[in-house]
């Protein structure tokens, strides 16, 4: 076993760690050395988004010690920046140990003299962002692993604007966290009088904000009996989503009973992610039985939303994140214009891997559309930079995230559910379904079809395999893919674009990120991006063509699906 691993194990066995932890280490030493090595082969990395990993014993796991050390480093940086005025808000989801991790975080902050506002129980992540802004906090933490399996937990750090950390604060916090070499450096207890519990009053303020996002409350009133099926997938959405829908005026809401109780075991699903059809299957089946107008699901911390609708054959299908985003973006652009409240400086923001159909819709309607790196912190950063000049109305990304209005600075599944239901009501008021609307948009703006392939590389060698894959694509980009020339390579790590036909290069003026994009001569876009929080690399595919009429939708969709399948096959990405 590597000497560094042995030294870390020795430190834990001889240090002031609890006896249960030491007993586990000794058991692994005796009969499960592979587990021991995986738990100690590195320190759990505090990345730009914070911590995320398997829960358990070891330096490479989420536990009270890794959480405490991370909090001490973050506290040190907050004190450097704000001194005695430093304050934080803390929230957590339904996962095992989330409450414990949140309380440990609160105690460490308080022991460092930092004022703490701790939610009294589980709450959606977007409410944490809202609370930071409402209370004037300098930072915040939410203990959640979002949509990861039940064995995971995480720790997301926020700044004073309610957004996750961006430069220079992300690197500075990471540096401070890395300086904490021992749990003896952590101030674990003291000054608990600095901890204030928050709850109902913040809920009410947040829900009032969500209600204020409605563009057509009169339509919601007319369509109050819109048949809505909603599942929180055992998560925090149950705390606020039903009430948000009630405040919008909807009276015919059916919560999926089997998934309504908060439970960190997520007993009815394998992967609590509304992107997955299997996860949403009970919701979709409930909607079918009730002949609903829409079904929606949020992930455990209620920052993502998945939606199901009926296709033209009457079958219930799960929309992908790009379709949901383009419908939501279009609704706010169209409805604001129709209502007469659109402003000449309205802007929308999306990520570089989200459908370019949104850019086309925005341009056609005279609305500025900006593209940023993946992650809502980058959307929030751009909002902050343009606050006095442009009017932000919506931002989103393909991974089932939307951020509506500027009162919060992170993706928000609660407000997204409410606005999507208003959007369905808006179309139903015209005698149309959401599927009708989607196809009409394809006819008007072009049929854009996207798909995502995630490749997981677990264990010690996983990160190396992913890095090697990216390096090969970077240094030896394919000349053609599925019969079409690759005409551009966009390298966001080098911040450089290159015309592969004539060799012309240009600077990409957004922060560095390990993302590559191949642009083909027919407008196809293929993006490769290693995940920052999970051991996987993601490939995003976007193809497009014209759609002459709604009658041709199914035929053209099959052609685009086949085109994506051919690309995946030729790039040798399929299992």
Lowest mean pLDDT among 4-8, 255-259, 440-444: 4-8
Check 98, 146, 214, 380 and give the catalytic one.
146
All CATH 3.40.120.10 domain ranges of the chain, comma separated, are 42-199, 222-445
Predicted confidence at residue 541, as pLDDT, reads 96
Does residue 337 surpass a pLDDT of 90? yes
Res 533: pLDDT:
58
Quick one: pLDDT at residue 554?
96
Catalytic, 415? Answer no
- Average pLDDT in the chain: 95
Residue 574, pLDDT score: 67
> Which residues share a beta bridge with 350?
371, 396
The torsion of the CA quartet 126, 53, 540, 390, rounded to 10 degrees, works out to 30
Residue 536 confidence class, pLDDT cut points 50, 70, 90? confident
Q: What is the pLDDT, as a whole number, of residue 49?
A: 86
Q: Residue-wise over 395-429: b if at least 16 C-beta within 10 A, else e?
A: bbbbbbbbbbbbbbbbbbbbbbbbbbbbbbbbbbe
Whether residue 168 has a cis bond before it, omega within 30° of 0: yes
pLDDT band at 266, cuts 50/70/90? very high
| CATH annotation of 42-199 | 3.40.120.10
How far apart are the two ends of the chain, measured CA to CA in Å? 32
Where in the sequence of the chain do the CATH 3.30.310 domains occur?
447-570
Three-state SS for 80?
helix
Rounded CA-CA distance 310/284 in Å is: 10
**In this predicted structure, what is the pLDDT of residue 463?**
80
Work out the percent of the chain whose per-residue pLDDT is above 90.
92
Q: What is the pLDDT of residues 146-187, one digit of tens each?
A: 999 999 999 999 999 999 999 999 999 999 999 999 999 999
**pLDDT at residue 459, rounded to an integer:** 67
Q: What is the DSSP secondary structure assignment for residue 311, as one 8-state letter?
A: -
User: Structure tokens of 264?
Assistant: 């960190």
pLDDT at 575 over 60: no
Concatenate the DSSP letters of all residues of 251-263 into one string: --EEE-GGG-S--
Q: What is the pLDDT of residues 228-250, one digit of tens each?
A: 999 999 999 999 999 999 999 99
Q: What is the mean pLDDT of residues 17-36?
A: 95
Structure confidence at residue 11 (pLDDT): 95
- Domain at 222-445, CATH from 3.40.120.10, 3.50.50.60, 1.10.150.240, 3.30.450.70: 3.40.120.10
Please tell me the distance from the alpha carbon of residue 164 to that of residue 250, in angstroms, as a whole number: 32
Count helices and strands (H / E) in the chain.
Answer: 18, 23
Using DSSP's 3-state secondary structure scheme, residue 321 falls into helix
State pLDDT tens for residues 436-483. 999 999 999 999 999 999 898 876 678 888 888 899 999 899 999 999
Mean pLDDT score, 94-113: 98
Contact yes or no for 248/309 (Cβ under 8 A): no
Joined together, the tokens standing for residue 295 give 């079904």
CATH fold of 447-570, please?
A: TATA-Binding Protein (3.30.310)
Residue 532 predicted with pLDDT over 80? no
Sign of CA dihedral 389, 391, 396, 401: positive
Least confident of 17-21, 166-170, 427-431, 530-534: 530-534
1 pLDDT exceeds 90?
Answer: no
**pLDDT at res. 534:** 65
Mean pLDDT of 363-371: 97
What's the pLDDT band for 535 if we cut at 50, 70, 90?
A: confident
Q: How far are the Cα atoms of 85, 211, 387, 388 from residue 342, in angstroms, in the given order? A: 39, 19, 17, 17
């Amino acid at each position: 076993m590597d000497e560094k691993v042995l030294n870390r194990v020795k430190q834990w066995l001889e240090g002031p760690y609890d006896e249960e932890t030491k007993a586990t280490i000794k058991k692994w030493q005796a009969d499960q050395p592979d587990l021991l090595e995986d738990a100690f082969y590195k320190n759990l990395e505090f990345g730009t988004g914070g911590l995320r990993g398997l829960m358990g014993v070891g330096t490479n796991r989420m536990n009270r010690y890794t959480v405490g050390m991370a909090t001490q480093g973050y506290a040190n940086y907050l004190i450097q920046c704000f001194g005695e005025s430093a304050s934080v808000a803390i929230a957590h989801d339904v996962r095992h140990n989330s409450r414990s991790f949140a309380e440990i975080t609160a105690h460490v902050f308080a022991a460092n003299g930092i004022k703490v506002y701790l939610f009294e129980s589980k709450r959606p992540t977007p409410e944490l962002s809202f609370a930071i802004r409402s209370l004037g906090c300098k930072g915040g933490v939410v203990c959640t692993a979002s949509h990861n399996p039940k064995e995971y937990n995480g720790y997301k750090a926020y700044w004073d604007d309610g957004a996750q950390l961006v430069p220079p604060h992300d690197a500075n916090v990471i540096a401070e966290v890395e300086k904490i070499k021992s749990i003896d450096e952590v101030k674990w207890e003291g000054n608990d009088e600095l901890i204030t519990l928050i709850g109902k009053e913040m809920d009410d303020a947040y829900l009032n904000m969500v209600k204020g996002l409605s563009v057509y409350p009169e339509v919601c009133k007319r369509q109050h009996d819109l048949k809505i099926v909603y599942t929180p997938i055992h998560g925090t959405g149950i705390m606020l989503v039903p009430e948000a829908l009630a405040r919008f005026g909807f009276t015919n809401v059916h919560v999926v009973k089997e998934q309504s109780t908060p439970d960190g075991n997520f007993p009815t699903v394998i992967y609590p992610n509304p992107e997955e059809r299997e996860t949403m299957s009970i919701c979709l089946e409930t909607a079918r039985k009730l002949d609903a107008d829409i079904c929606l699901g949020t992930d455990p911390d209620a920052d993502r939303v998945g939606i199901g609708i009926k296709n033209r054959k009457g079958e219930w299908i799960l929309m992908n994140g790009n379709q949901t985003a383009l419908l939501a973006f279009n609704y706010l652009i169209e409805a604001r214009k129709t209502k007469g409240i659109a402003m000449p400086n309205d802007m929308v923001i999306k990520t570089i891997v989200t459908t370019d159909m949104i850019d086309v819709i925005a341009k056609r309607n005279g609305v500025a559309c900006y593209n940023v790196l993946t992650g809502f912190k980058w959307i929030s950063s751009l909002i902050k930079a343009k606050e006095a000049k442009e009017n932000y109305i919506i931002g989103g990304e393909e991974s089932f995230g939307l951020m509506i209005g500027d009162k919060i600075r992170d993706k928000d599944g609660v407000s997204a559910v409410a606005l999507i239901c208003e959007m369905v009501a808006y179309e139903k008021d015209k005698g149309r379904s959401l599927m009708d609307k989607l196809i009409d948009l394809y006819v008007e703006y072009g049929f854009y079809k996207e798909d995502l392939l995630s490749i997981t590389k677990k264990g010690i060698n996983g990160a190396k395999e992913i890095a090697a894959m990216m390096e090969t694509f970077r240094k030896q980009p394919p000349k053609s893919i599925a019969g079409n020339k690759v005409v551009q390579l966009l390298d966001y790590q080098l911040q450089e674009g290159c015309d592969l036909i004539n060799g012309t290069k240009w600077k990409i003026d957004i922060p560095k990120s390990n993302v590559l994009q191949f642009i083909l001569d027919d407008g196809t876009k293929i993006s490769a991006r290693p995940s920052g929080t999970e051991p996987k690399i993601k490939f995003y595919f976007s193809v497009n063509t014209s759609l002459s009429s709604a009658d041709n939708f199914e035929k053209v969709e099959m052609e685009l699906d086949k085109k994506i399948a051919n690309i995946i096959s030729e790039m040798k990405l399929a299992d």
